[in-house]
């Protein structure tokens, strides 16, 4: 996401403690105009949230992120090297990342109870990721598994002036070592108790299919971020997905259609409606975002422009996770889009993926600030 404002992050609450501003004054379920009657929201009783007179958070259905965790090796360069060319980087460092870990960290920073389900290697990079997620606060790591024989996934992030990046991923433990059949103890237990499940495509499709099917059976909505593998999304996976979320280039590649204009984007999004996905949430970078609900007019959200863009690496993950948090809190479609846009705007002003995730306070402050 290109230029899409920064408040200094504040400390967050403990893993299952939600600040008062995130609680509701009465029991609620997500508004029934967000998804059609008979949808999974309607069938999922755990989406009632305790009133603010009850300090317990045990009734809050968590955000559950199942996905990848990487050690991101950042190198700052003036330009990409040509074939056969060696260039020098201005600086370099290793930071925790991966689309799954990024989205889980965002949920934690937004003070919503969040679980991360994923795999890391038994190595220094695995410890880097666990330490980073623990430092964020609000992210439960009960279902993070260390696997022997495979290194922690890692990525080389080539960061260019203006915040744009190119990324090469090595799957490692994100790709190998998963059980052929997931059990409750390996993450399905918490998936079935979630308020919403977030998936991406940096882990095997068959794992995503098992998770999404378990969520559907339990009446839990599923959001699939299209980022990761560039292969077509299996139709079986799409059958279990409530909201499919590509960026503009992913939408073009996966639909096989042009996305040069908003009309093009609309047609491409509707192709996924015909494949059984009722809602398509498209991230459009500096142009903002749009939500395409089958049978309804698209809802556009302009980008909330940042005064300076330093790094766009985690912006898409921030947007998707913030949208999911707003959704499970019962916000309207427009409110979800605006909340996510504010979070992404704050994200791009800090280098690194997990370090750039904004706090709830900073997002709220930006939304309340004068335009």
Q: What distance lies between CA 325 and its chain's CA centroid? A: 10
pLDDT digit string (tens) for 261-272? 999 999 999 999
59, 122, 123, 317: the active-site residue: 317
* CA-to-CA dists, residue 226 to 232, 246, 311, 370, angstroms: 10, 5, 20, 33
Q: Report the binding-site residues for substrate.
A: 70-72, 98-102, 202, 317
Report the DSSP pairing between strands 114-121 and 139-147: parallel
Query: Does residue 9 surpass a pLDDT of 70?
Result: no
Q: Report the binding-site residues for ATP.
A: 247, 283-288, 316-317
Tokens of 126: 């695995």
Angle at 278 between CA 273 and CA 282, to 5 degrees: 80
Q: Report the binding-site residues.
A: 70-72, 98-102, 202, 247, 283-288, 311, 313, 316-317, 347, 350, 352, 356
Query: Does residue 26 surpass a pLDDT of 60?
Result: no
> Please, what's the b/e burial string for 297-322 (b: 16 or more CB within 10 A of its CB; e: otherwise)?
eebebebbebeebbbbbbbbbbbbbb
Angle at 180 between CA 64 and CA 99, to 5 degrees: 35
Calpha distance 342→305 (Å, rounded): 9
Please report which residue ranges of 218-247 form alpha helices under DSSP H.
235-239
Class of residue 166 by CB neighbours under 10 A (exposed 0-12, middle 13-18, buried 19+): exposed
> Please, what's the b/e burial string for 152-163 (b: 16 or more CB within 10 A of its CB; e: otherwise)?
bbbbebbbeeeb
pLDDT digit string (tens) for 198-244? 999 999 999 999 999 999 999 999 999 999 998 999 999 999 999 99
pLDDT digit string (tens) for 108-149? 999 999 999 999 999 999 999 999 999 998 899 999 999 988
pLDDT of residue 40: 53
Query: Does residue 253 surpass a pLDDT of 80?
Result: yes
Q: Report the binding-site residues for K(+).
A: 311, 313, 347, 350, 352, 356
Query: Does residue 43 surpass a pLDDT of 90?
Result: no
Query: Does residue 280 surpass a pLDDT of 90?
Result: yes
pTM (predicted TM-score): 0.83
* Active-site annotation holds for 54: no
- What does the pLDDT average to over 168-195? 95
Q: Compute the 3-state secondary structure of the chain and give helix, strand, coil in percent, each to the nearest 5.
A: 35, 20, 45
Q: Which CATH architecture has domain 20-67+102-143+181-368?
A: 3-Layer(aba) Sandwich (3.40)
pLDDT digit string (tens) for 329-350? 999 999 999 999 999 999 999 9
- What does the pLDDT average to over 316-336? 97
């Amino acid at each position: 996401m290109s230029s899409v404002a920064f408040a200094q992050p504040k400390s967050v609450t403990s893993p299952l403690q939600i600040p008062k501003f995130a609680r509701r004054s009465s029991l609620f379920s997500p508004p029934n105009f967000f998804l059609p009657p008979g949808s999974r929201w309607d069938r999922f009783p755990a989406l009632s949230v305790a009133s603010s007179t009850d300090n317990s958070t045990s009734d809050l259905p968590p955000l559950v992120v199942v996905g990848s965790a990487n050690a991101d090796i950042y190198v700052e360069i003036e330009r990409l090297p040509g074939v056969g060319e060696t260039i020098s980087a201005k600086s370099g460092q290793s930071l925790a990342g991966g689309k799954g870990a990024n989205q889980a960290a965002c949920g934690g920073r937004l003070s919503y109870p969040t679980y991360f389900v994923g795999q890391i290697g038994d190595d220094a990079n695995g410890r880097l990721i666990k330490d980073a997620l623990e430092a964020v606060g609000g992210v439960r790591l009960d279902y993070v598994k260390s696997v022997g024989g495979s290194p922690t996934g890692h990525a080389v992030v080539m960061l260019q002036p203006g915040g744009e990046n190119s990324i090469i991923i090595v799957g490692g433990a994100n790709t190998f070592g998963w059980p052929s059949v997931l059990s409750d103890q390996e993450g399905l237990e918490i998936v079935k108790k979630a308020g919403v499940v977030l998936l991406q495509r940096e882990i095997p499709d068959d794992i995503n299919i098992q998770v999404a099917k378990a969520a559907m059976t339990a009446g839990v909505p599923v959001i699939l971020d299209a980022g990761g593998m560039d292969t077509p999304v299996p139709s079986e996976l799409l059958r279990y997905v409530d909201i499919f979320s590509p960026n503009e280039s992913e939408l073009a590649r996966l639909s096989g259609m042009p996305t040069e204009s908003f009309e093009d984007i609309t047609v491409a999004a509707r192709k996924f409606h015909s494949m059984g996905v009722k809602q398509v949430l498209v991230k459009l970078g500096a142009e903002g975002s749009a939500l395409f609900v089958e049978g309804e007019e698209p809802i556009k959200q302009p980008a909330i422009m940042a005064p300076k863009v330093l790094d766009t690496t985690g912006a898409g993950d921030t947007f998707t996770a913030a949208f999911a948090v707003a959704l499970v809190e019962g916000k309207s479609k427009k409110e979800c889009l605006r909340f996510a846009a504010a979070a992404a705007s704050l994200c791009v002003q800090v280098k690194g993926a997990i370090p750039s995730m904004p706090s709830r306070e900073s997002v709220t402050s930006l939304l309340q600030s004068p335009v």
